[in-house]
Structure 1
Amino acid sequence: MDIASTDIAAKGALGIGLGVAGLVVVALLIGAFALGSRARRRQPAPPRPEEQPRLPPGGPVGEVRENREPDEVPRGDHRITPHEMPGHGNSPSRPGTATGRRRWDDGGSGSFGGGGQG
């Protein structure tokens, strides 16, 4: 066997290998499409127009803005967990007496890099 014949055989094997790899990729894509369409068929159909939600008789509900009084953090000897904090299902916060929105003082932005005297 000479070098030319081994070179031709190597190129042929490479071509066959690339062809087989391409066929495997195509088969995987077809399989993924088949699985996706089968899963799509199992999903419920989209709601019909008569099943869509409707506006309430009084029209759309407006937005309510109000200030709430903050709850104090309980002080004690042991560390408390978030579910032990007040206001999580056991005692709701109270409406506040302030009518306007709270604003930051001049010179203090309340965030890093937001201005101020530096």
Structure 2
Amino acid sequence: MNIAAMQLAAPSGLLVLGLFAVAIAVFAILAGSFWLGSRIKVRESPRPRPEEQPHLPPDGAVHEIRQNREPDEVPRIPKGGRPLTPYELTNMQTRPSTSKDRPRWGKGTTGSFGGGGLGAH
């Protein structure tokens, strides 16, 4: 090795001071973030007490109701009438279905376009 390579390989005091300053800066940022987080937490509303927690209704837990629903029909436009705009349509409500059969997809399909299934073959 020559003398220039040895001088470059020797530890520099300035490099050590720079790394020490970076470590102090990182520590200051972390300590500041903890301090700021604690100030924000103090300003938040307190946690609810156990008596303020939600309770089950007197009748007990609510159970699932299974029923088939049918959508309302879209209004028909008479011949020569102007089409309805989306703003003139109301929210499409549903009503209970008289049929008790659950709708099923066709055999071999996933029921959605591009669902990744093999499809009906």
Taking structure 2 as the reference length, the TM-score comes to 0.71
Q: 1:85, CA displacement in angstroms? A: 4.5
- Once superposed, what is the RMSD of the aligned Cα atoms? 2.9
Aligned mates of 1:101, 1:55 — CA distance in 2: 31
Aligned mates of 1:62, 1:105 — CA distance in 2: 30
1:115 maps to what in 2? Answer: 118
1:87 pairs with 2:88: no
Across the two proteins, how many residue pairs are aligned to each other? 110
- Where do 5+ consecutive residues of structure 1 fail to align? none
Aligned mates of 2:85, 2:15 — CA distance in 1: 68
Write out per-residue CA displacement over residues 58-86 of structure 1, whole angstroms, 9 at most, x where no aligned residue: 111111222111233457646536xx543
For the 8 Å contact 2:71–2:94, the answer to whether it is kept is: yes
Q: Read off the aligned partner of 1:80 and give its amino acid letter.
A: P
1:97 maps to what in 2? Answer: 98
Greater strand content: 2
2:19 maps to what in 1? Answer: 18
Percentage identity across paired residues of the two chains: 46
Aligned mates of 1:57, 1:87 — CA distance in 2: 34
1:71 maps to what in 2? Answer: 72
For the 8 Å contact 1:67–1:96, the answer to whether it is kept is: yes
